Amino acid sequence: MSKFNELINSDTPVLVDFFATWCGPCQMLMPVLKEVKDNMGERVKILKIDVDKNKELAAQFQVRGVPTMVLFQNGKQIWRQSGVLTKDEIIRTIIGKSN
């Protein structure tokens, strides 16, 4: 938990993907997030959290469905969305919310 808090407490936006291995939409989101990272490089960190292996963390952030993406900057949640978005929607959100 302290490692997670350390990771999200960054000037660089951190997009946390709460997912499950059995979740079809989560599988669809994986290559999209890779494209986001490839496109944005060091301007964003992407952290994947398996809700089945990290139940306490999922409960702490009230993750009710997967995939759920939460954007943090300086330790604060600045955006949250459940479901699959396109690469462009995610990039626009990161740029818009982190400025």
- 26 in active site: yes
Q: Of 7, 23, 47, 57, which is the active-site residue? A: 23
Identity at 3, one-letter amino acid code: K
Cβ atoms 15, 46 nearer than 8 A: yes
Q: What is the DSSP letter of 81?
A: E
Q: Of 20, 26, 85, 90, which is the active-site residue? A: 26
Length of the chain, please?
Answer: 99
Active site residues: 23, 26
